[in-house]
Amino acid sequence: MFEFLFNYRSELFSQGELTFLAGPVRLLMLSVGLALTAWALHRYRKSLTGSDKASGPVQGLLLALRALGVGALVVALLEPALALSAIKPQESFVAVLADTSASMTVTDTEDLDQPAATRAAWLDRSLVGAPFDNEPGDLWRDLATRFQVRAYAFDETAGRIDFAEPLSFDGRRSDLGSALTMVRSELTGVPLAGVVVLTDGAIESTDVLIDESLRFRSAGIPIFPVAVGSARFDRDLEIAEIRVPRRTLLGSTVLAQVQIGYPGFAGETITVEIRDEGRVIQQRTAELPVGGDDTMSLELSFRTQAEGTRSLEFAVTPQSRAAEAVTLNNTKTVLLEVESGPHKILYFEGEPRFEYKFIRRAVAEDPQLQLVSLLRMADNRFYRQSVDGEDELRGGFPTRREELFKYRGLVLGSIEASFFTYEQMRMIVDFAAERGGGVLFLGGSNALAEGGYAGTPLSELIPTELSDRREVGPRGVSVNVQPTALGREHAALQLQGTSDDAFWASLPELLVLNRTGRLKPGAAALLAGQTAGTQEAQLVLAHQRFGAGSSMLFLPTDSFRWQMRLPTEDQTHEILWRQILRWLINGVDDRVVASPQRDRVELGGDAVLEATVRDQRFQADPNALVEAEVTSPSGATSRFDLTWDPLTEGRYSGELSVNEPGLHAVTVFADTGEGSQATAATAKANFTFEAGSLNEEFFGAVRQAGVMTRLASETGGQTFAGNDISALIDQLSYSTAGVTVREERPLWNMPILLCLILLGLLGEWSARRWKGLR
Amino acid sequence: MAPKPSSFRARATVGLAAAVAAALLWLGSSIATAAAADGDRSGAPQVEFPVYDYDHRFTFARIKFSPIEWGFSRRYTWGLDLKWNHDYPQAEQNFAKVLDEITGIKANPEGGNLIELDDPRLFDYPWAYLCEPGFWDPTETELVALRNYLLRGGFLVIDDFFDQVGGFNEQWDNFERQIRRLFPGSTLSPLRLDQAAFRVFFELDDLDFSDPRLPFNVPAMYGIFEDNDPTKRLMIAVNYNMDIGDYWEWSDQGLYPVNMTEKGFRLGLNYLLYSMTH
């Protein structure tokens, strides 16, 4: 519409400046004319004033309309024009960058001329034309009428192309940043009017790209992305995201959250499978809901059965088997490090009670857990179990950070707060907040509010508010335990492969002694229940994140009744405690935490390895000597140093070029330089990354506008659709970059002026007729 | 010198009374024995006793059973010698007092519960005490319940049974027969001083628990272990020719020497703390 009324697109008006072409003679004549017009309008107003048919507002309207018509006519006679700097034909250059990554083979050209064609076909037609006719494509030809065209193809590499050569679309990623670097270096010194990027937008947003966009902006060279492909597939299933923990313990139940996008599949049934080395370890069938945004989240839990790095393949399959836009995005692989223990948890119990023994028995057979226990049998009489050597916990509860922080988890039983010194309480808080450990509080007559925890540093760590009341009733309340909505889906509470109400209702009641207040913000209840008599809601199990770690609260004092009262072969009690304690230490890091920046690396790319190193007190160590040893799939070993990151204390990183497909095992050694040779000052961490073809081009393969829009706005360019090439060429023709000449485009013939003249004069005439004036 | 008539009459009266009492006791025990032999336990009297509701505290659980024979006795509660009630309830009460005094265990000070083996409440109390197993003849249902109790983590102290020196080992034989019914193929392993049950809280100096009243009975301690493996958890501790319950009962009366009373408590506390830690 704008272009119809004003002859030119709005962008040209913002680029150019308004000028008038009328000469002095015409200006003189116009001045005389304006004076006569003013006199005529004055007379006209007087004649209206004398008439009793025209009230004040009508007079104003009539005058305004006549003035509008006359004014528009005057403007047209002044011969307005738009002064632009236009590209001088054939003296400026245009760089055309064509995305030849694999995602261009997707068939979704809904907004292009040819329906059901691939993005690549459109690109071929635009640039290289028909095979064997040795003629460029439409876009190339049109650009060549005004510019010197330099065309490049880019994916993970970039190179110059000629229209005589067919393009191959097999790139594994789209590294536009590096391509722009090449264009900039090749075309240095030539008048470059702009850069046209033909892409579907699946571009890597790298630091290089950001850097290049700033360089092009400072050089005044606009970038014009041309969007290829559809913004939304008609029909496609995609595994958009998978969330699984990076590490877990052997034998643990892992909960995987799978985000599935399904445009065009609503109402159909799908199956999601998890495969480990080709063997299906879990599957779930679901119906895709109708309505909403065509995405859904599915949860699958599975038990880890083999240690080491597991490459888990998630696959979604529609039952209809009907065609879809992209099938390569129906499977996705994630890495899971399955660790074997045992990992040490310290259990400190303040009073001899059967709960202590039964918790220990429940996890005694778990090879991944070592529940080191300290039981206060009497005042100053402690009993140690599962310790490593005579010295462990010899002095009772730890008083030094390095003594406590070697455990991954801490269980505090029925022990009054006054047992601890203030420093010990702060240390326990730091154990969760800084060391990242898990702290579990158990209910008991000396625990929580009844144990005097309100107002102490430890109360920060407890997931509920505590009251100041300390008395303990002799009986407590009996509770029927049920999972909350969150607990029903939680991996730690999948006790017998079922979470139905009947199973939970069959469990014996448990006794809760302690009174707790509200859950703290951020804490979540996982088990709750109703008191047997009064049917009041009673919290049973709660969890919260706390700094780098977490804390949990388990209120019943006698979970052992699940062991004693359920059938002898029943494993509910054992599974409950194994899973709670595994969950407590899940994801708890050691002194050295090392990981690849990305779990999966494209073959031929660089793997970035990162490590965070802490000393024995778990404080960031900026002075460590950190070395990585990488073992490739063929068994070749290489070692290199990781360098200190000046921005983050205790962080180290290094890069490794990856040329061999498969799993690469990495061990990071950190010498923190503390202690003598006799002490273990060197800590290490292991991880794995996988090199190979990732097919990442096919995830999120719909046209992505984000990077393209930012690139255009950063450099003064504009984004165009694939069927709007003429506008692109028009815009390029008035680029301020390149070799330009001043060009004045007439505006006197703009339809808007004719409209205003007609509106003014005809409107005034009609109004007069309407009021019965002459 | 001839005895005084009054003195003679008195002696005659006592003698008669003793004869009548002996006849009655013989009659009573014969009836009880006959009833038990017929498999009819209804002959054992049902008596009233306090019941303490389950709470978080340690509560002494005494196993109540229908004895093979029972009798009247002024010494025992309710005036009846029901075998399982020996030392009840003073033993429980004194044991709880010592627990409270010496350890951090929170115990019910009023006494303990009497629980039959087929009572589901048994499973709320993972430590139990049974005395006079020489008169114990559990039903199959009771045996199944006890087996489950022990396998799930329960601990049983068997105490207070003696055989006459030089006589038949009737008490032991009956006990052993019931144990074979409970765990066929199990081994009654002699307990050793270096085992955890004797080191867990008090480190005992010896296992000599000779009863000063029966100096010729040689005490012996045996155990039934999980999977018949003495390196695993002790499930049943057996005190043969011993009666630590009696030490507990009479601890506030001075019947036994202090050192024996103390040893009785030390052993009892160790058994309990072992059951709370293993």
Q: Which of A596, A209, A297, A591 is nearest to A437 (CA)?
A: A591
Round to whole Å and give the CA distance between B206 and B194.
10
Segment of A198-212, A271-285, A493-507 carrying the highest mean pLDDT: A271-285
* Residue A128 tokens, joined: 């290289």
Answer yes or no: is pLDDT of A302 > 60.
Answer: yes
Q: Which residue has tokens 């293993």? A: B278
3-state secondary structure A590-610: CCEEEEECCCEEECCCEEEEE
Note whether B153 contacts A360, CB cutoff 8 Å: no
pLDDT band at B42 (very low <50, low <70, confident <90, very high): low
pLDDT band at A708 (very low <50, low <70, confident <90, very high): confident
pLDDT band at A110 (very low <50, low <70, confident <90, very high): low
pLDDT on residue B27: 43
DSSP for residue A267: T
Round to whole Å and give the CA distance between A174 and A203.
5
Round to whole Å and give the CA distance between A21 and B246.
127
- Is residue B199 within 8 A of residue B274, CB to CB? The reply is no
Chain B from 229 to 258: CB within 8 A of any A CB: none
The residue ranges of DSSP E strands in A642-767, in sequence order, are: 643-644, 651-657, 662-671, 682-692, 720-721, 740-746
Q: Which residue has tokens 């065609």? A: A323
pLDDT on residue A514: 93
Q: What is the dihedral of CA B101, B107, B112, B117, to 10 degrees?
A: -130
Best of A377, A381, A571 to mutate (most B CBs within 10 Å, chain B): A377
Q: Mean per-residue pLDDT for A139-165?
A: 86
Residue from the list B104, B123, B276 with its beta carbon closest to the beta carbon of A357: B276
Round to whole Å and give the CA distance between A402 and A680.
13
pLDDT on residue A52: 65
pLDDT band at A600 (very low <50, low <70, confident <90, very high): confident
Answer yes or no: is pLDDT of A375 > 60.
Answer: yes
Q: Mean per-residue pLDDT for A182-196?
A: 88
pLDDT digits (tens, 9 = 90+) for A668-683: 999 887 644 444 567 8
Residue A453, min C-alpha distance to chain B (Å): 19
Residue B102, min C-alpha distance to chain A (Å): 7
Cβ count near B190 (within 10 Å): 12
Note whether A377 contacts B106, CB cutoff 8 Å: no
Answer yes or no: is pLDDT of A597 > 50.
Answer: yes
pLDDT digits (tens, 9 = 90+) for A473-482: 657 899 999 9
Q: Where in chain A is the domain with CATH 3.40.50.880?
A: 343-585
Answer yes or no: is pLDDT of B104 > 70.
Answer: yes
Residue from the list B120, B124, B153 with its beta carbon closest to the beta carbon of A361: B153
- Is residue A245 within 8 A of residue A312, CB to CB? The reply is no
Do residue B176 and residue B255 come from a single domain?
yes
Round to whole Å and give the CA distance between A188 and A740.
18
Note whether A383 contacts B200, CB cutoff 8 Å: yes
Note whether A352 contacts B57, CB cutoff 8 Å: no
Return the higher-pLDDT residue of A541 and A190: A541
Question: Chain-centre distance of CA A251, in angstroms?
Answer: 30
Q: Mean per-residue pLDDT for A576-602?
A: 90
Do residue B114 and residue B138 come from a single domain?
yes
pLDDT digits (tens, 9 = 90+) for A741-770: 777 888 888 899 899 999 988 998 898 888
Do residue B22 and residue B112 come from a single domain?
no
pLDDT on residue A764: 86
pLDDT on residue B35: 42
pLDDT on residue A768: 82
Q: What is the dihedral of CA B65, B70, B73, B76, to 10 degrees?
A: -10
Answer yes or no: is pLDDT of B36 > 60.
Answer: no
What angle (nearest 5°) sits at the alpha carbon of residue A542, between those of residues A536 and A543?
A: 160
To the nearest whole number, what is the mean pLDDT of chain B? Answer: 87
Q: Which of B236, B255, B235 is nearest to B245 (CA)?
A: B255
Round to whole Å and give the CA distance between A663 and A61.
82
Parallel/antiparallel/unpaired status of strands A740-746 and A80-87: antiparallel
Chain B from 90 to 109: CB within 8 A of any A CB: 102-106
Do residue B26 and residue B60 come from a single domain?
no
pLDDT on residue A30: 81
pLDDT band at A731 (very low <50, low <70, confident <90, very high): confident
Radius of gyration, alpha carbons of chain B: 20
Element housing B220 (H / E): strand B220-225
Q: Answer positive or negative: Cα dihedral of A229, A235, A241, A242.
A: negative
- Phi first, then psi, for residue A605 (nearest 5°) are -90, -175
pLDDT on residue A441: 98
- Is residue A629 within 8 A of residue A665, CB to CB? The reply is no
Lowest mean pLDDT among A113-117, A341-345, A369-373, A503-507: A113-117
Count of structural domains within chain B: 2
pLDDT on residue B37: 40
Note whether A511 contacts B56, CB cutoff 8 Å: yes
DSSP assignment of A142-187 = HHHTTSEEEEEEESSSEEEE-TTS-----BSS--HHHHHHHHHHHT
CATH number for the segment(s) A592-695: 2.60.40.1930
Q: Where in chain A is the domain with CATH 2.60.40.1930?
A: 592-695
Cis status, amide bond into A115, omega within 30 of 0: no
Q: What are the C-alpha distances in Å from A557 to residues A444, A536, A664? A: 6, 18, 47
pLDDT on residue A483: 93
Note whether A513 contacts B56, CB cutoff 8 Å: yes
Parallel/antiparallel/unpaired status of strands A477-483 and A524-531: antiparallel
Answer yes or no: is pLDDT of A219 > 80.
Answer: yes
Find, in chain B, the residue whose alpha carbon is nearest to that of A414: B104
The SS3 of residue B190 is strand
Query: A6 burial class (0-12, 13-18, 19+ CB within 10 angstroms)?
Result: middle
pLDDT on residue B8: 37
Q: What is the dihedral of CA A140, A142, A148, A153, to 10 degrees?
A: -20
Note whether B152 contacts A378, CB cutoff 8 Å: no
The domain containing residue B201 runs over which residues? 44-277
Return the higher-pLDDT residue of A408 and A164: A408
Domain A238-339 has CATH 2.60.40.10: yes
Q: Answer positive or negative: Cα dihedral of A709, A711, A716, A719.
A: negative
pLDDT on residue B132: 97
- Is residue A102 within 8 A of residue A169, CB to CB? The reply is yes
Note whether A378 contacts B104, CB cutoff 8 Å: yes
pLDDT on residue A430: 97
The SS3 of residue A302 is strand
Note whether A564 contacts B277, CB cutoff 8 Å: no
- Is residue A160 within 8 A of residue A179, CB to CB? The reply is no
Do residue B195 and residue B252 come from a single domain?
yes
Task: State the complex-level ipTM.
Answer: 0.87
pLDDT on residue B6: 39
pLDDT on residue B40: 46
Q: Mean per-residue pLDDT for A447-474?
A: 87
pLDDT digits (tens, 9 = 90+) for A49-103: 766 666 778 878 888 888 888 888 888 888 888 887 777 788 889 999 999 888 8
3-state secondary structure A68-103: HHHHHHHHHHCCEEEEEEEECCCCCEEEEEEECEHH
pLDDT digits (tens, 9 = 90+) for A614-652: 988 898 988 889 999 999 989 899 999 999 988 888 999
Parallel/antiparallel/unpaired status of strands A625-631 and A662-671: antiparallel
Return the higher-pLDDT residue of B21 and B255: B255
Do residue B200 and residue B231 come from a single domain?
yes
pLDDT digits (tens, 9 = 90+) for A319-361: 887 788 888 889 988 889 888 889 999 999 999 999 999 999 9
Q: Where in chain A is the domain with CATH 2.60.40.10?
A: 238-339
pLDDT on residue A352: 98
Write out chain B residues lying below 8 Å of A352, CB-based: 103-105, 272-273, 276-277
Q: Mean per-residue pLDDT for A489-517?
A: 86
pLDDT band at B26 (very low <50, low <70, confident <90, very high): very low
**In the A/B pair of chains, how many CB contacts fall below 8 A?**
86
Answer yes or no: is pLDDT of A739 > 50.
Answer: yes
Do residue B158 and residue B223 come from a single domain?
yes
Best of B127, B276, B278 to mutate (most A CBs within 10 Å, chain A): B276
Note whether B56 contacts A558, CB cutoff 8 Å: yes
CATH code, domain with B212: 3.40.50.12140
Note whether B104 contacts A376, CB cutoff 8 Å: yes
Taking the Cβ of residue B55 and every Cβ of chain A, the question of whether any pair is shorter than 8 Å is answered with yes
Return the higher-pLDDT residue of A693 and B119: B119
Round to whole Å and give the CA distance between A445 and B56.
8
Lowest mean pLDDT among A72-81, A128-137, A167-176: A128-137
pLDDT on residue A732: 84
Write out chain B residues lying below 8 Å of A378, CB-based: 102-104, 201
* Residue A113 tokens, joined: 């001329």
Do residue B49 and residue B35 come from a single domain?
no
Residue from the list B153, B154, B276 with its beta carbon closest to the beta carbon of A352: B276
Do residue B132 and residue B29 come from a single domain?
no
Q: What are the C-alpha distances in Å from A494 to residues A259, A558, A747, B129? A: 21, 20, 75, 37
pLDDT band at B125 (very low <50, low <70, confident <90, very high): very high
Note whether B104 contacts A563, CB cutoff 8 Å: no
In CATH terms, A343-585 corresponds, of 3.40.50.880, 3.10.580.10, 3.40.50.720, 3.30.1130.10, to 3.40.50.880
Note whether B104 contacts A383, CB cutoff 8 Å: no
Chain A residues interacting with chain B (CB cutoff of 8 angstroms): 350-354, 356-358, 360-361, 375-379, 381, 383, 385, 444-445, 474-476, 511, 513, 557-558, 560-561, 563-565, 567-568
**Domain made up of A89-232+702-738: CATH architecture:** 3-Layer(aba) Sandwich (3.40)
Do residue B162 and residue B217 come from a single domain?
yes
Write out chain B residues lying below 8 Å of A568, CB-based: 148, 151-152
Do residue B134 and residue B121 come from a single domain?
yes
Find, in chain B, the residue whose alpha carbon is nearest to that of A569: B152
Write out chain A residues lying below 8 Å of B273, CB-based: 352, 377, 383
Segment of A289-303, A721-735, B220-234 carrying the highest mean pLDDT: B220-234
Where b means 16+ CB within 10 Å and e means fewer, A251-277 reads bbbbbbebebbbbbbeeeebebbbbbe
Residue B130, min C-alpha distance to chain A (Å): 19
Round to whole Å and give the CA distance between A226 and A724.
9
Residue from the list A377, A557, A565 with its beta carbon closest to the beta carbon of B56: A557
Round to whole Å and give the CA distance between B127 and B236.
10
pLDDT band at B18 (very low <50, low <70, confident <90, very high): very low
Note whether B103 contacts A383, CB cutoff 8 Å: no
Note whether B124 contacts A561, CB cutoff 8 Å: yes
Write out chain B residues lying below 8 Å of A379, CB-based: 104
Write out chain A residues lying below 8 Å of B104, CB-based: 350-352, 376-379
Question: Chain-centre distance of CA B144, in angstroms?
Answer: 20
What angle (nearest 5°) sits at the alpha carbon of residue B246, between those of residues B210 and B25?
A: 105
Amino acid identity, position A31: S
Taking the Cβ of residue B58 and every Cβ of chain A, the question of whether any pair is shorter than 8 Å is answered with yes
Do residue B216 and residue B237 come from a single domain?
yes
Note whether B57 contacts A474, CB cutoff 8 Å: yes
pLDDT band at A39 (very low <50, low <70, confident <90, very high): confident
pLDDT on residue A210: 87
* Residue A595 tokens, joined: 């990981």
Answer yes or no: is pLDDT of B124 > 50.
Answer: yes
Residue from the list A377, A445, A564 with its beta carbon closest to the beta carbon of B153: A564
Return the higher-pLDDT residue of A251 and A396: A396
Note whether A385 contacts B277, CB cutoff 8 Å: yes
Note whether B154 contacts A558, CB cutoff 8 Å: no
Residue B124, min C-alpha distance to chain A (Å): 6
Write out chain B residues lying below 8 Å of A444, CB-based: 56
pLDDT on residue B247: 96
Question: Chain-centre distance of CA A675, in angstroms?
Answer: 42
Write out chain A residues lying below 8 Å of B57, CB-based: 474
Chain B from 110 to 139: CB within 8 A of any A CB: 120, 123-124, 126-127
Lowest mean pLDDT among A313-317, A435-439, A675-679: A675-679
User: What is the layout of strands, in order, in the sheet containing A409-412?
Assistant: A381-385, A369-378, A343-349, A409-412, A438-442, A549-554, A537-546, A524-531, A477-483, A510-512
Write out chain B residues lying below 8 Å of A474, CB-based: 55-57
Q: Answer positive or negative: Cα dihedral of B166, B171, B177, B182.
A: negative
